[in-house]
C-alpha cells in the first residue's frame, strides 16, 4: 500500500511569535492608558522562542514555578 501520511517538514527560518504576530510589541491597558510594551513571549524580537516562560520575567526570584525541572535520576 502507498503511504498515506505525508512527512511533516521542519519550518525553514525563524518562526514568527503568535501572540504579537511577529511585531515584538503588544498593546497593554495596564495603568488605564493603552500603550505598547515588548512582547513577553518573544522578548520583543518577534521570533518564537521554544520553551520560553513569558511569566518568568515578572516572577520574583525564589517564587514557586521559578525552578527548572531536573532530569530524572534512576
The confidence band for 72, taking pLDDT boundaries of 50, 70 and 90, is: low
Distance (Å, whole) CA 48 – CA 35: 22
Distance (Å, whole) CA 26 – CA 18: 11
Identify the DSSP state of 57. G
Distance (Å, whole) CA 43 – CA 32: 23
pLDDT tens track for 25-65? 999 998 899 999 999 999 999 999 998 898 887 767 665 55
Tell me which of 23 and 1 has the higher pLDDT: 23
Go through the chain and tell me how many residues it has. Answer: 74
DSSP 15-70: PBPTTTTTSSEEEE-TTSS-EEEE-TTTTTSSB--TT--TTGGGSPTTSTT-SPPP
Quote the pLDDT of residue 65.
55
Amino acid at each position: 500500500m502507498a503511504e498515506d501520511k505525508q512527512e511533516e517538514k521542519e519550518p525553514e527560518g525563524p518562526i514568527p511569535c503568535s501572540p504579537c504576530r511577529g511585531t515584538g510589541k503588544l498593546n497593554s491597558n495596564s495603568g488605564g492608558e493603552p500603550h505598547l510594551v515588548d512582547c513577553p513571549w518573544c522578548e520583543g524580537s518577534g521570533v518564537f522562542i521554544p520553551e520560553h516562560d513569558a511569566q518568568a520575567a515578572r516572577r520574583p526570584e525564589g517564587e514557586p514555578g521559578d525552578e527548572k525541572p531536573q532530569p530524572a535520576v534512576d
